[in-house]
Amino acid sequence: MAFSHVIRRAVNQSFKWYFDHNYQRIVHYMNYPFKVQESILHNLIDTSIHTEFGVRNNFSTNKKIDNFYENVPISDYESLKGDIHRMMMGEKDILCSGQVKWYAKSSGTTNDKSKFLPLPPKNLKRNHIQGTWDTMTLYYHQNPDAKIFHGKGLVMGGSLTTFKENPSSLIGDVSGHLLTHFPKVGKPFYVPDFQTALLPNWDEKIEKMANILINSDLRMMGGVPTWTLVLLKRVLELSQKQNLSELWPDLEVYVHGGVSFVPYLDQFKELIPSKSMQYMEIYNASEGFFGIQNDFNTNDMLLLLDNGIFYEFLPSSEWNKEHPKAIQLSEVQCGVNYAIVITTNAGLWRYVPGDTVVFTSTHPFKIRISGRTKQYVNAFGEEVMVDNTDNAIAATCKAMNANVLEYTVAPVYFNETNKASHEWLVEFEKEPTDIEQFNNLLDENLQKINSDYEAKRFKGMALERLRLKILPKGTFYKWLKNKGKFGAQFKVPRLANHREYVNEILSMVELDKIN
């Protein structure tokens, strides 16, 4: 045992040495953000001169950054999917150099169509895997006595499959690609085994993972909160412990991303009551690894400026324009909502993923995710974003000793029987004792957070008080599964400026009552 402890300590110190060295790279781009970003863009252009996209946009003759802005239009998936499909069919040198055999399947909401994003080896290594090491670097920098590598880390991965039209192309969650190509030096420190982590059937996967975890010395967890909670609750059932701190006394940190953690925090604290437990946010999307929380005393993230991505930003006034104009990093202001625009070493040129961010600092550049360009409610000029509703429901739950599992919001339009309002479908883990009081307080908190909503609510002239509808437990889980949107990459859309999702869910609930 003593010898084993010495080995674990030596291994942990070796990783810590690497993290200390890597931190100097992070400090460099924190101090010289514009120089680093300019260098990345020049490199992306230089290495793509011979590609179809490079020839199409005159990269060989117009290497100046101003020419890049003039020649390359801002794009979305619709404008690139034709080229991406050709790449998936095996054509090379289209959007990026060489032939790309790996593709990240992305579905940030429950849209029926999935996106397939190129994932060449240089992008996987330089961006996603580098972001994973940077996460540990920033964690150890804040916690020099961390002992993650004394034990195991939990990874919740997706699955991979071949592309039907061309079996040589592999598609799946970016987490599945990461696990498949994870550096050998790190594999011994993670559970479950990667074969289990890549299982396509999530019911089977969660059951197997839970049985493995009850016998593991867990030090770190990572994953989307929704599915991590499902797994942790199953582990608690199998272990028959009072809480998970009894099972994993040395668990240090949960690394989360994909959705706001605000509505989930209390549920995690109930499962893991350890006072030393820390929660670290990352911003790792299928399109790229963009940000990492570098200070546990704040709720923002350091923007990663040296990982193969060049950034621009769209002010909200440009979001719906046919030819939007983006601003550079040097022009951003704190407190303003921007849609992120990326140019990457995966061949995404001036691409809009759909996420919106707010800068909290410009030295260094730090952000928090505020929502998505397509996830908002603005049917009556109220301009409600996801961070507004997340914070309003978190404050309400705290005041009323309640826990919300999932929720979604949609507008209620004027008609002969209804005045305008917002309808909230909510699934509680722990219901409040007084639903009516919860409804009132939630509406009041949203008004405090969003002045536009407050103005529309004034004396109920434009909007009535929000309408709260409580759903049976498991409703959102069943809805996603029924739509074939099952797994770590799929998340409940918090807001929609239409009633499609809400009407589907309500119809499903009514049908369940009949049956």
507 burial (CB, 10 Å; 0-12 / 13-18 / 19+) is exposed
DSSP string, 155-179: E----EEEETTEEEEEEE-HHHHHH
**Angle at Cα 66 formed by Cα 65 and Cα 72, nearest 5°?**
85
Domain 122-292 in CATH 3.40.50? The answer is yes
- 299-355 pLDDT, tens digit per residue, is 999 999 999 999 999 998 898 788 999 999 999 999 999 999 999 999 999 999 988
Q: Whole-structure pTM over 0.85, yes or no? A: no
**Mean pLDDT per 10-residue interval, the chain, length 515 residues:** 71 93 97 96 94 91 78 92 96 96 73 77 94 96 94 86 94 88 84 86 88 95 85 94 96 88 85 95 93 95 97 91 93 95 97 93 94 79 86 94 93 78 94 96 95 85 90 90 68 88 93 79
Query: What is the rounded distance in angstroms from the CA atom of residue 235 to the CA atom of residue 154?
Result: 13
Here the tokens at position 26 are 């992070």
CA atoms within 13 A on the CB side of 127: 30
pLDDT of 316: 86
Here the tokens at position 145 are 């006595």
13 burial (CB, 10 Å; 0-12 / 13-18 / 19+) is exposed
**Sequence ranges of the domains in the chain:** 122-292, 376-514
Q: What is the DSSP letter of 466?
A: P
Query: What is the rounded distance in angstroms from the CA atom of residue 48 to the CA atom of residue 45?
Result: 5
Q: Are 407 and 470 in contact (CB under 8 A)?
A: no
Residue among 362, 306, 370 nearest 340 (CA)? 370
pLDDT of 144: 94
Here the tokens at position 374 are 């397509």
Here the tokens at position 323 are 């030819």
Return the CA Rg of the chain: 23
Provide CB contacts within 8 A for 461, sequence distance 6+.
Answer: none
513 burial (CB, 10 Å; 0-12 / 13-18 / 19+) is exposed
pLDDT of 382: 85
DSSP string, 256-293: E-SS-SGGGHHHHHHH---TT-EEEEEEEETTEEEEE-
Secondary structure element (H or E) that encloses residue 387, with its range = helix 386-400
The domain covering 376-514 belongs, at the CATH homologous superfamily level, to: ANL, C-terminal domain (3.30.300.30)
pLDDT of 3: 47
pLDDT of 505: 94
Query: What is the rounded distance in angstroms from the CA atom of residue 189 to the CA atom of residue 184?
Result: 10
Query: What is the rounded distance in angstroms from the CA atom of residue 466 to the CA atom of residue 444?
Result: 10
